[in-house]
Chain A
Amino acid sequence: MSERYVAAVDQGTASSRCLIFDERSRIVSVSQIEHSHIYPRPGYVEHDPEEIWRNVQKVLAQAVESLDGGVRDVVGLGITNQRETTVLWDRATGAPVHNAITWQDMRTDHLVRELGGSEGTDRFRDRCGLPLATYFSGPKIVWLLDHIDGLRERAEAGEVLFGTMDSWLIWKFTGRHLTDVTNAGRTMLMNLETLDWDDVLLDAMGVPRAMLPEIRPSMEVYGEAGGDLAGLPVAAALGDQHAALFGQTCFDTGDTKCTYGTGSFLLMNTGAEPVRSANGLLTTVGYKVGDEPATYALEGSIAVTGALVQWFRDKLGLIGSASEIETLARTVDDNGGCYFVPAFSGLFAPHWRSDARGVIAGLTGYISKGHLARAVLEATCWQTREVVDAMNSDAGTTLTLLKADGGMTANNLLMQSLADVLGVPVARPLVAETPSLGAAHAAGLAVGFWTDVEELRAQWHKAAEWIPSMDEAVRERGYRKWRKAVARTMEWVDDDD
């Protein structure tokens, strides 16, 4: 008998990828196709669901091609996806009624403010764990129902179906209309306690239940694929950040991962009960294994991390590539007293100040471009520290290890500074593709390829670890200065701006 594998499809914002993993969680095959972004108007960002479906089929076919027995060697498929991106399609024909409205799309800006009314952005937070914001799917559905003639009636009659990317792909693969609990949790329509669609939320937004998929656990066999993939069990679905949490084997309460990219996403496992945040963090479902109770998580996102390095490269031109920031930063020993708060579009968790704008504080004649480079890197570290502190305080936990992934983990100085600023070790896993690994792990569990999460935990290996080496007094002084710099960003935006 030939070797057996698990496949993961990562339907991301920029591309669709397929990765194949062996029994020891090693990547044996990767393929990727980028899709087009459609910008009908400023602030609108759409994807073509049919193009994405074609690409997903292509990357799967390409990835399994290298296996001896092709798709027959694959025991299960897991899906991980860009979250919140919204597709509506015709139940009878399977044809989308509109392009997918992506999470980045801001067309629901007015709508979410209307929905908040006098109660503001936290109107639905108790039920769904989320503040009213343009990212989430619910208001995107409402926009489509409001703007396409006759759509609301057809949705009420169950003729038009809604899905996030996981649902769309599962529908295409198996013909079933399902979603997983982590994706459903990003619609603002799911009740965090019952893990079912919430009638109060549906009524408040005016979304007909008939168009919504059935909410299922993150891992179970949803059905079998057809066509060239006939017989392949589709066995897991998780939103990308949730899959990354699972792939980083954050199975215990307090386990935390952060994905460092353009922006960064920190998720902490908070166990079997949802934790309500007093600091404006999001409460979300981490994952749900079959019939077991769901595991919840707190999520804190940092809008500007890698984006600040890109800004430093593209707008200031002090470096030629993102990696060179480390070289420049190492020309000096410290930040020279300089702090950079990249509140480019306000301050997010845990401050939530839309009137804030970025500052570079502590400038003296001594400050060189090397110090600025340090301050740019440290901005990511201090922002992480603020979110970690908020999580520790909300969840009553104490972070002991941060599992980091994403492109910025290649920056050694950043990772060391992060460990210094957090005062806990920071580890990078051997498999950097944590969302795909998480989806593969979930699918492998569902089909019995792996027995339990302990087996998966044993397969997580450190590729590198950074140990804090900063003196406590230096760290606290740095944090004090950072907070003073943050205070200086506020009340910058005036009414007439």
Chain B
Amino acid sequence: MAPGGGWGHLALPTRIQSIERAAAVLRLLSGRNRRLGVVQIAGEMGLPKATVHGILQTLAAVGFVEQDDESGKYQLGAALLHMGSSYLDGNELRARALNWSDALAARSGESVRIGTLHEGRVLVVHHVFRPDDSRQALEVGALQPAHATAMGKVLLAAYRYVAAELTDEDLAGYTSGTITDRAALEAELRVVEERGWADDVEELVVGEASLAAPIEDRRGVTVGAIGISGPVERMMHNGGPRTDLVSFVRETARAVSRDLGAIPW
């Protein structure tokens, strides 16, 4: 070993091809609900099927990917999701957001929902009634179309590949205001991402509007959306969403996000 230079070959930034390929596979599969087959992945990466199969088997063995029994397709594994910060249990999210969402309902006078993405749609994980003692049913567990709701737009803006995967059937029109055109949706998501909140004005239900903002974990990854919804005459002012309501929603989203940064109890 030559003096002074003995460790040189270790210090060199050598890169291991198989790890790079595995990372590329994971990147392709990134997103909780994205599922791809071996052929698709091999095609995307320009690699032989057998090579991709070997990588997937190895990743499956360590729990980083999982194979769906029925379709044979692969998705990111639970182990990876738990390691990454983009995974947050919806029930955990509800527990952490409970007091903040109650306060949002009290301040805004409207119903509050928290949603996460689930197979291209918005899964309602928490619902606080509008504080007016009218008859209301708990909507926890319900699915809403992502492109037609403020919460959905917030989530799609953060997870563009989910938006890209939405089928024409997914982009159904519910009112004349629903965004059903891909380019228009993409433009809308860019606006949402830029300003940090979303609205839906009679895009799901005529006469109703909603507002939402992202809930982020300590690394800035969007883990859910929180929003309010109500009749347009209460939600809107001078043709736009009421600025005070937008502030309430954004402040609440930030407060929940701050709390998520804390150590879990």
Contacts and interface: CB of A to CB of B under 8 A. Distances in A.
B103 interface: yes
B102 A463 contact: yes
Interface stretch (B7-15, B129-137, B191-199, B208-216): B129-137
A320 interface: yes
Contact of B98 (A321, A326, A432, A461): A432
Contact of A323 (B95, B127, B131, B138): B95
B41 to A, nearest CB: 28
B190 interface: no
A24 B132 CA distance: 12
Interface string A419-435: 00000000000111000
Nearest to B127: A464
| Highest count of chain B CB atoms <10 Å: which of A26, A407, A410, A411 | A410
Contact of A326 (B91, B107, B137): B91
B60 interface: no
A324 B129 contact: no
A324 B91 contact: yes
B92 interface: yes
Contacts, number: 72
B128 A430 contact: yes
A462 B133 contact: yes
B123 to A, nearest CB: 12
B98 A410 contact: yes
A457 to B, nearest CB: 11
A430 B140 contact: no
Contacts of A320: 264
A229 interface: no
A40 B98 CA distance: 37
Nearest to A458: B133
Interface string A359-400: 000000000000000000000000000000000000000000
B51 to A, nearest CB: 35
| Highest count of chain A CB atoms <10 Å: which of B96, B102, B264 | B102
Contact of B138 (A27, A322, A407, A465): A465
Contact of B265 (A322, A327, A431): A322
B91 A461 contact: no
Given A322-B265, A323-B89, A431-B102, A464 B95 contact: no
Contact of A464 (B91, B129, B132): B129
B94 A461 contact: no
Contacts of A463: 102, 105, 128-129, 131
Nearest to A410: B95
B129 A323 contact: no
A36 interface: no
Nearest to A462: B129
B99 interface: yes
A326 B141 CA distance: 13
Interface in A425-470: 430-432, 461-467
Contacts of B127: 464
Interface string B84-104: 000001111011101100110
A464 B105 contact: no
A412 interface: yes
B29 interface: no
Contact of A412 (B91, B102, B107, B131): B91
Nearest to A415: B138
Nearest to A27: B103
A323 B94 contact: yes
Contacts of B96: 323
B215 to A, nearest CB: 15
A461 B133 contact: yes
Contacts of A322: 95, 265
B106 interface: yes
A444 B4 CA distance: 80
A466 B133 CA distance: 14
A452 B81 CA distance: 53
Contacts of A24: 106
A465 B127 CA distance: 10
A317 to B, nearest CB: 15
B106 A466 contact: no
Contacts of B140: 412
Contact of B107 (A26, A462, A467): A26
B91 A327 contact: yes
Contacts of B99: 432
A430 B105 contact: yes
Contacts of A467: 137
A412 B127 CA distance: 10
Nearest to A429: B102
Contact of A321 (B105, B131, B136, B264): B264
A462 B92 CA distance: 22
Nearest to A461: B131
Contacts of B89: 321, 323-324, 327
B131 to A, nearest CB: 4
A261 B94 CA distance: 17
Contacts of B136: 462, 465
A28 to B, nearest CB: 10
A326 B133 CA distance: 28
Interface in B60-86: none
B50 to A, nearest CB: 35
Contact of B106 (A26, A323, A407, A412): A26
Given A411-B95, A430-B129, 4 more contacts: A323-B92, A407-B95, A430-B131, A431-B106
7 closest cross-chain pairs (CB), A and B: A461-B131, A410-B95, A323-B92, A326-B91, A323-B95, A323-B91, A26-B106
28 contacts: A26-B107, A321-B92, A322-B95, A322-B265, A323-B91, A323-B96, A324-B91, A324-B92, A326-B91, A327-B89, A407-B95, A410-B94, A411-B91, A411-B95, A412-B94, A412-B140, A430-B128, A430-B129, A430-B131, A432-B98, A432-B99, A432-B102, A461-B129, A462-B129, A462-B131, A464-B138, A465-B129, A465-B136
Interface of A: 24, 26-27, 320-324, 326-327, 407, 409-412, 430-432, 461-467
Interface of B: 89-92, 94-96, 98-99, 102-103, 105-107, 127-129, 131-133, 136-138, 140, 264-265
